[in-house]
Structure 1
Amino acid sequence: MKLVKSLLLGSAAGFAVVAGAQAADLPIRKAEPVAVDYVRVCSAYGSSFFYIPGTETCLRVGGRVRAEYRYLEPFDRSDDTVGFRARGRLNVDVRTPTDYGTLRAYIRYEITRDTGSYNFPINGVAANSPDVAQAFVQFGGLTAGRISSFFSNADIATQHFGTLRFDDTPDLPTLAYTFSFGGGFSASVALEDNISRRNTGLPVGLLGTTFGLPTNVVFPGFNFPFASYVPAGDTAPDFVANIKYVGTWGNAQLSGAVHQIRDLGIPPTLTAAGAIVPGTGRLFNDAEYGWAISPSVQINLPFFAAGDYFWVVGTYAQGAPNYAGFTGSNIGFGGDITTIGLTDATINAFTGNLEKTDVWSIAANFTHFWAPTLYSSIFGSYANVQFGGGSSTVLTAPTFPTFSGLTVGFTDFNEIRIGGNTIWSPVAGLNLGIEVMYTRVDFDNRVPAVVSGALGTVVRPAGTSDLDVWEGRLRVQRDF
């Protein structure tokens, strides 16, 4: 047995020697080096950019997650008081240096899910909406695509959660060019989407309902001589321009816009036989042009505390209330307390004229830093809305004895909004905030009709021509 083991071991050793000798005779082939292209940081455009490997193009991927909880003072038991919001945002920023300046492409995608007190239309936006909020190309001074309006001052640092009445950087399609003059001065001209700025609300009728016909609404023995204009096809974009200065002390901007109002026309009232009832309607299919102007300024206040600032924005608009921050065709205040039709213009059925809506507003904000990671803001806005002649009617007896004294149609009003919030940022990119806001609407001593909902019809008693509502929000937001 020992002899067998010795023979086997000897044979194995012999094979190993022979194999090693043969291997030594073979040429040795070295492994080729593997090229490794490491990701490089791109610091030319700010933090978080990196070079796309193999190119001189810089890329940044970012986004936001927002959770928000809202209390809204109800009008009656049918209203939701509590609301929940979840919003996600993803954005991609791509920039390449060229001989003509930076070539940039940007995409921002947002998805919002709302319930409860959020779940009625706010500013004309659907409650649950995926949205390509921005998608644009910039090349030198050229901007093309969907981006914040050039009427807005994008350099103002807004901190409020709720709505204030000024043009708070809405996103819309545009084609613009910006001229840079050096020393902080620039000017921009833009052609922007007219339809995104259009307000065509229906007048408020009996008990808060809206009339569903774009014409004179006839009840037995009474004719309501008002109607919102009915928009015809869009034939001209809005023309927007601004002049801006950005310096170490803050920034200032003067903006202007021209807005087309093109009416389809209203048919006359017809008898049962199809004949025109004399004096009940006049065909009108013409175009008018509204306009808006807005100065704004933000001033840094480092002598109070590092980071403190104050800003104020004023707006006057004629035939273009959207530019003053009224971005929905029907504006609701607190659940279904009331709905006010907002329109660029009304038809005066007695004259056949297109009567433009006048709006002026002023909004302001002061932000103070208690510490580098803790700050508070107080803010507010005041707005005055005046509709054209013949835009509303006060019901009288004996035609409407039950509703005598109520105002129906487009009702002039003043609105004040005031609020404050505190935001804590314990770590970079995380904001924890709480906000309270009060809104009051005064209908210039006119008495609106109001619908209460499931519990039956409620008409506000005489002398109560104002409405007010409180709301509060809690926000948790992570930016990356």
Structure 2
Amino acid sequence: MKLVKSLLLGSAAGIAAVAGAQAADLPSRKAAPVEYVRVCSAYGAGFFYIPGTDTCLRVGGRVRAEYTVGTRFGDYQDAYGTRARGRLNIDARTATAYGTLRTFFRYELTNNTGLYNSGGVTPFNTGAVIPGSTRGAAPTAASSALVDLAFVQFGPITAGRAQSFFDFYANDYNFASTRTSDTRLNLLAYTATFGSGFSATVSLEDRVSGTNNRELPGVTFTPTLLGGTYGTAVVQGQDYPDLIGSLRVDQGWGSAQLSGAVGQRKYSVGLPSVAVQSPVDGDEMVWAIQGGVKINLPMLAAGDNLILQAAYADGALGYIGWYPGTFGVGRLGGLTLADATLNTITGSVDNSSGWSLVAALKHFWTPQLRTEITASYSQVKLKYIDAASFGAFARSLDPKEYNIAANLIWSPVSGLDIGVEVLYTHLDVRNPVGEAQNYGGRSGILSIKNDDAWAGRLRIQRDF
């Protein structure tokens, strides 16, 4: 009996061993490796590798709520406005043998009421410039969408919609109150770096594609005294975009930049009604120059800095923050602004010119509490007539303006700003004009040469 048991157990063990050996030879299905999201530290906080690639991606954005009160000029005009804006940023970067390949995209959705809404105020108080609104342009519609930025950077090349390389202080301190160039537009640029923080850029920039088209050149014309009637003065197409050049240095003490711009503007006006007058047109060269410096002030507090900037423009006032259309403060509202005048008496094109000075200071009272103060002063010499005020007599208004703005912002946690802001604007014109009325017209009873306005805002903003 014992012999039989031993034979059976031995046979079973042999069969199991053979079966195991055969099973080991059969193909088996293994679990696929799991791709985990990895942190990418090469480009700063918030970047991670897209699984399966060597591209680093950062997804961020902003939500801002604004509540603004402006100077009330009459019962017809709204005295407050609200805005809700959402922003999405996508930043993708890849290291290559030619340098970093970067793609950046920013998209904004906005809802406005009152002072922010184009239907809320007539005329809009462009002098006060509601905080956060576009300088020189009418407020946006109740709801709007905007591709704010969309560009590719490959080594020294920048192509797409980006911040103008002419700009230095571009309303960096939350205000849109200063007279400064702050434009995002379509461009093609080449940047050369020389080491020690020095760089130089040459950029071709399409001013017509600027933010809210606020870089479109404006033109008006001086009426002739010979009795003929001209057609509407118009801006014709440009043969090439504006050429921008800039020299920049970024070091531990701060940064500085010198930039210049040259461009072409073409104007024309229709034929007059009498034969003794000739049609007027012009092909004008325009230019601008700007210098700025940013000085870090760590001896006051970490993060403190001071910005100083000066700019001059001839025939392209957008480079100093004056944009074609209407301008004015309160009772001076609704005055016409243009880059050039088609003079139907002399048969010439006269460019408007102007300059601006900007100062901005940021100070941290504590790491969570800061103040930003900005101020600008500008003068413009306009070769134009304000027809609503002067009829057929050509007289220049030559506006002079200063803006002062300040805020107090509390950041209780990272990425959250809660603050109040106040703006003051004063405008002088060279010759008296009829007082603007509540309905948008002008009064011949009272002529004024200056006026001022106030605006304030409560802002709650979350960046992520």
TM class by smaller structure: 0.7 to 0.9
Match of 1:300 among 296, 301, 304: 296
Q: How do residues 388-407 of structure 1 correspond to structure 2 at under 5 angstroms?
A: 388=383, 391=385
Which residue does the alignment assign to 1:465?
A: 449
| SS of 2:235 mapped into structure 1 | coil
Distance 1:394 1:436, change over 3 A: closer
Partner of 2:269: 266
Counterparts in 2 of 1:76 and 1:39: CA distance versus 1, 3 Å:
same
2:437 aligned with 1:452? yes
Which of 182, 185, 192 is equivalent to 1:179?
Answer: 192
Residue type matched to 1:269 in 2?
Answer: P
Deviation, 1:478, is: 0.6
Alpha-carbon distance between aligned partners in 1 of 2:413 and 2:281, rounded to the nearest angstrom: 58
Paired with 2:168 and 2:385, the residues of 1 have a C-alpha distance of 33
Indicate whether 1:188 and 2:188 are aligned: no
Quick check: 1:228–1:347 contact (8 Å CA) kept in 2? no
In 1, Cα distance between the equivalents of 2:328 and 2:344? 27
**Map 1:105-124 → 2, pairs under 5 A:** 105-120=103-118, 122=134, 123-124=136-137
Instruction: Rate the CA distance shift 1:174–1:476 in 2: closer, same or farther, 3 A.
Output: same
Residue range with higher mean Cα deviation, 26-35 or 421-430: 26-35
Match of 1:246 in 2: 250
Report the AA paired with residue 187 of structure 1. A
Counterpart of 1:289 in structure 2: which amino acid?
A: M
Q: Secondary structure at the match of 2:446?
A: coil
Q: In the alignment, which of 335, 353, 362 is matched to residue 367 of structure 1?
A: 362
Q: Which moved more, 1:352-361 or 1:451-460?
A: 451-460
RMSD (CA atoms): 2.9
Report deviation, 1:216. 3.9
What displacement does 1:131 show?
A: 0.7
Q: Which residue of 2 aligns with 1:164?
A: 178
Q: Corresponding residue for 1:66?
A: 64
Q: Hey, what does 1:285 align to over in structure 2? A: 281
CA contact (8 A) 2:411 2:417 kept: yes
Measured after TM superposition, the shift of residue 34 of structure 1 is 2.8
Candidates 398, 405, 429, aligned match of 2:415: 429
Of 408, 413, 422, 2:399 maps to 413
User: Are the equivalent residues in 1 in contact too, given 2:352–2:381 (CA < 8 A)?
Assistant: yes
Is the 1:199–1:329 Cα contact (8 Å) retained in structure 2? no
CA contact (8 A) 2:258 2:291 kept: yes
Alpha-carbon distance in 1 for matches of 2:369, 2:438: 42
CA distance in 2, matches of 1:438, 1:141: 41
In structure 2, what is the equivalent of residue 8 of structure 1?
A: none
Q: What amino acid is aligned across from residue 53 of structure 2 in structure 1?
A: T
- 2:429 is aligned with 1:443: yes
Cα distance, 1:348 vs. partner?
1.2
Report the counterpart of residue 349 of structure 2 in structure 1: 354
SS of the residue corresponding to residue 190 of structure 1 reads strand
Q: Is the 8 A contact 1:368 1:375 kept in 2?
A: yes
Q: Per-residue CA shift, 1:30-60, capped at 9, x if unaligned?
A: 6522310111100111110100111111111
Distance 2:97 2:164 in 1: 27
- Report percent identity of matched pairs: 41
Deviations 1:377-427 (A, max 9, x none): 221111101112x6457978xxx8xxxxx9877622101111211111110
Counterpart code for 1:362: L
Is structure 2 residue 462 aligned with structure 1 residue 478? yes
Out of 312, 316, 323, the position equivalent to 1:320 is: 316
Matched, 1:339 2:334: yes
What's the secondary structure of 2:319's corresponding residue? helix
Q: From the superposition, tell whether residues 372 and 455 of structure 1 become closer, same or farther in structure 2 (CA, over 3 Å).
A: closer
TM (norm. structure 2) is 0.84
Task: Tell me how far apart the structure 1 counterparts of residues 150 and 199 of structure 2 sit (CA, whole Å).
Answer: 23
| Distance in 1, Cα, partners of 2:379 & 2:445 | 22
Corresponding position of 2:12: none
1:207-226 → structure 2 map (5 Å cutoff): 216=223
CA distance in 1, matches of 2:365, 2:429: 39
Taking a change above 3 Å as real, the CA distance of residues 435 and 228 of structure 1, as seen in their structure-2 partners, is: farther
Change (3 A) 1:438 1:224: farther
Find the aligned partners of 1:33 and 1:134 in 2 and give their Cα distance: 43
Shift of 1:234: 2.1
1:137 maps to amino acid: V
- The question of whether the paired residues in 1 share the 8 Å contact of 2:313 and 2:353 is answered with yes
Distance in structure 2 (CA, Å) of the matches to 1:395 and 1:84: 33
Distance 1:416 1:381 in 2: 5
Residue number in structure 2 paired with 1:132: 147
Instruction: Classify the secondary structure of the residue corresponding to 1:41.
Output: coil
1:345 is matched by which residue type in structure 2?
A
Unaligned segments of structure 2, at least 5 residues:
1-14, 119-123, 125-133
Q: Which residue is 1:150 aligned to?
A: 165
Counterpart of 2:434, as a letter, is: A
- Say which SS state the counterpart of residue 323 (structure 1) adopts: helix
In the alignment, does 2:211 pair up with 1:198?
no
Change (3 A) 1:385 1:83: same
Query: Residue 182 and residue 215 in structure 1: after superposition, are their counterparts in 2 closer, same or farther (change >3 A)?
Result: same
Secondary structure of the 1:467 match is strand
Q: 1:296 to 1:229 in 2, by over 3 A?
A: farther
Deviates more, 1:324-333 or 1:434-443: 324-333
If the length of structure 1 is used for normalisation, what is the TM-score?
Answer: 0.81
Residue identity opposite 2:77 in structure 1 = D
> Aligned partners of 2:393, 2:434: CA distance in 1, in Å?
7
Q: Check whether the contact 2:420–2:458 (CA below 8 A) recurs between aligned residues.
A: yes
Counterparts in 2 of 1:224 and 1:297: CA distance versus 1, 3 Å: farther
SS of 1:117's equivalent in the other structure is helix
Structure 1 residues 269 and 111: CA distance shift in structure 2, 3 A: same
Q: Distance in 2 between matches of 1:395 and 1:333?
A: 16
Evaluate the alpha carbon distance shift between residue 222 and residue 460 of structure 1 in structure 2; reply closer, same or farther with a 3 A threshold. Answer: farther
Show the counterpart of 1:209: none
* Alpha carbons 1:194, 1:238 under 8 Å: kept: yes
Query: What residue number does 1:38 align with?
Result: 36
Contact 2:246 2:259 in 1 (8 A): yes
Give the total of aligned pairs.
423
Matches of 2:341 and 2:320 in 1, distance apart?
Answer: 18
Is residue 384 from structure 1 mapped to residue 379 from structure 2 by the alignment? yes
Cα distance change, pair 224–185 in 1 and its aligned pair in 2 (3 A): farther
Q: Which amino acid aligns with 2:236?
A: A
List runs of 5+ in structure 1 lacking aligned partners. Answer: 1-20, 203-213, 271-275, 401-405
